[in-house]
Structure 1
Amino acid sequence: MQLLKRVLVIAALFYLPLQSQAWSLTGHRVVGGIAESYLTPKARKAITALLGNESLAMVANWPDFVKSDPAYNYLSNWHYINFEDGFSFQAMHDFLEKDTSVNAYTKVNFMVKELKKGNLSRETKIMYVKLIVHIIGDLHQPMHVGRLSDLGGNRVKVMWFNEATNLHAVWDDKLVDFQQLSYTEYINAINFTTAEQRKAWQSDSFDKWIYDSYAISRKLYEEIKQPDQKLSYRYNFDHIKTVNEQLLKGGVRLAGVLNGIFG
């Protein structure tokens, strides 16, 4: 019995972190790879000096990997920001201007400001770059701006084809992985932008990124009419355009942030 309890506890420790990931391994690498394609030469040189042979795509999942190390438990709240229903853009803007809690919005702002100062240790710079790459990807996954009451859709139980899962997981990995593409194939399939699009997306304020994800998440919640609702081919057909656009926006905006810091 004691052995069984230990096995269950260990299983739970490995299961729980997966519930707060975003975009899966593939999705995060797509965001990082897209960003890399839009770096300025100066930013690329500075980032290479920090990361060496590691690409943005390959460091993008580091913040999820370190969840297995208790020393990094303090990062758990950095991956998301929750809101209940009923926020207008102006109300969210006003809230975020005064927000001092630990969440994706405050911590990305903090790390960007610190990196711009340029007086950090090399190790801290590397960690902050990896975190920014990951968290900006997180914020473009709509359920990372979900409701606190259901843990960003983790408590909204659905069926993905015949698999019991939840709404958060569907948007974390089920939809991305359903395309059956490697991250390089995925980038090649969706990374088509105009200079006007990139300028517009990179000019959007940080609070607009969050509000856009918030607005998408509210529509996703409304579509779930009953517990264990079955989602399958039609759900993919209806939502893959949104998935791809959010991945693309995440990469383009990430490039804009990194260029602003290093370029």
Structure 2
Amino acid sequence: MKIFRKISLVAIMFCLPVITFAWGTNGHRICGEIAYSYLTPKAKLAVQQILGNESVAMASNWADFIKSDDNYRYLSAWHYVDFDKPYTLPEMKAFLAKDTEVDAYTKMNFLIAELKKPTTTKENKLLYLHMLIHIVEDVHQPMHTAHKDDQGGNGFKVSWFGKPTNLHSIWDTELINFQELSYTEYAAAINHTTAAQRAEWQKAPISEWLYESNQLAEAIYAGAKPNDNLSYKYNFNNLATLNQQLLKGGVRLAGVLNEIFK
């Protein structure tokens, strides 16, 4: 009877819908590790006072892990911004200027404003910092600024080395995991920027982050067909873009936190 129960539980687990996380565990930690390396001393102290012994890298995944708690289901829509067509930069800015939806754009603006307020409670600061760290990283994963009709590529079915998956998951986890590096090794491998480059990336408004990611998402859609079996060539063709977005996500997160806690 006990064996039957165990088999039944395993079967149920395989029947549950797969939940995809932006960047996956390692991707978020890579961004967080990079961000921490560029925090000012003042920002480091402020972040530490809120997170306690939790590093920025480890805090990066809280927003995905908490999805299993029904009390936090309302946060699910904060992770992405879906678009119904490709936008030019002026169109993107005009669209976002009128955006009142619960999405990554409106919630990043909300979180930044709340974290700047001296009256924000300690409990809310912890929630808001966790979410801001995660969402800034999320929107640098191009498929979090992708098509509404396929849920950011979740409905775009492909295979990865013969294993059925979807385009969103390829960019969340498969490409990163294929490099076979720990998050600290990966961050060290790609974290090479100049002060001028960091300043350029950090001065861009959030609307430009989303435009850049959306443009990349359109290129990603164009670079694959439904039911394609993606493997070595896909990794070779897309690794530079992947690494650039991980790096930009970390650098820009540092810029946001430095501005909040200046």
Q: TM-score range by the shorter chain?
A: over 0.9
Unpaired runs of at least 5, structure 2: none
Distance in 2 separating the partners of 1:48 and 1:83: 36
Q: Is 1:248 paired with 2:251? A: no
1:6 Cα deviation from its structure 2 partner = 8.4
Instruction: Compute the TM-score of the two structures, normalised by the length of structure 1.
Output: 0.94
Note if contact 1:85-1:218 (Cα within 8 Å) is conserved in structure 2. no
Determine the structure 1 residue equivalent to 2:261.
262
- State the superposition RMSD in angstroms: 1.6
Distance in 1 separating the partners of 2:189 and 2:8: 46
Secondary structure, counterpart of 1:84 in structure 2: coil
Distance in 2 separating the partners of 1:72 and 1:7: 26
Determine the structure 2 residue equivalent to 1:190.
190
1:52 Cα deviation from its structure 2 partner = 1.3
Determine the structure 2 residue equivalent to 1:130.
130
Q: Is 1:111 paired with 2:111? A: yes
- Letter of the 1:211 partner, please give it: Y
Determine the structure 2 residue equivalent to 1:55.
55
1:50 Cα deviation from its structure 2 partner = 1.0
Q: Evaluate the alpha carbon distance shift between residue 114 and residue 235 of structure 1 in structure 2; reply closer, same or farther with a 3 A threshold.
A: same
- Identity percentage of aligned residues: 51
Secondary structure, counterpart of 1:164 in structure 2: strand
Note if contact 1:84-1:148 (Cα within 8 Å) is conserved in structure 2. yes
Note if contact 1:153-1:168 (Cα within 8 Å) is conserved in structure 2. yes
For residues 4-45 of structure 1, give each alpha carbon's deviation from its aligned partner in whole angstroms, at most 9, with x where no partner exists: 9987766555x44x22x1111000000001000000000101
Distance in 2 separating the partners of 1:7 and 1:189: 38
Distance in 2 separating the partners of 1:174 and 1:228: 16
Determine the structure 2 residue equivalent to 1:41.
41
1:86 Cα deviation from its structure 2 partner = 3.1
Unpaired runs of at least 5, structure 1: none
Determine the structure 1 residue equivalent to 2:85.
85
Distance in 1 separating the partners of 2:9 and 2:240: 43
Alignment map for 1:202-221 (pairs within 5 Å): 202-221=202-221
Note if contact 1:138-1:144 (Cα within 8 Å) is conserved in structure 2. yes
Secondary structure, counterpart of 2:102 in structure 1: coil
Secondary structure, counterpart of 2:86 in structure 1: coil
Instruction: Compute the TM-score of the two structures, normalised by the length of structure 2.
Output: 0.94
Secondary structure, counterpart of 2:67 in structure 1: helix
Determine the structure 1 residue equivalent to 2:151.
151
1:140 Cα deviation from its structure 2 partner = 0.3
Alignment map for 1:2-81 (pairs within 5 Å): 15-16=17-18, 18-19=19-20, 21-81=21-81
For residues 58-114 of structure 1, give each alpha carbon's deviation from its aligned partner in whole angstroms, at most 9, with x where no partner exists: 110000101111110000100000002231110110010111100000001001001
Q: Evaluate the alpha carbon distance shift between residue 8 and residue 32 of structure 1 in structure 2; reply closer, same or farther with a 3 A threshold.
A: same
Once superposed, which parts of structure 1, at least 4 consecutive aligned residues long, lie more than 6 Å away? 3-9
Note if contact 2:86-2:214 (Cα within 8 Å) is conserved in structure 1. no
Q: Evaluate the alpha carbon distance shift between residue 98 and residue 32 of structure 1 in structure 2; reply closer, same or farther with a 3 A threshold.
A: same
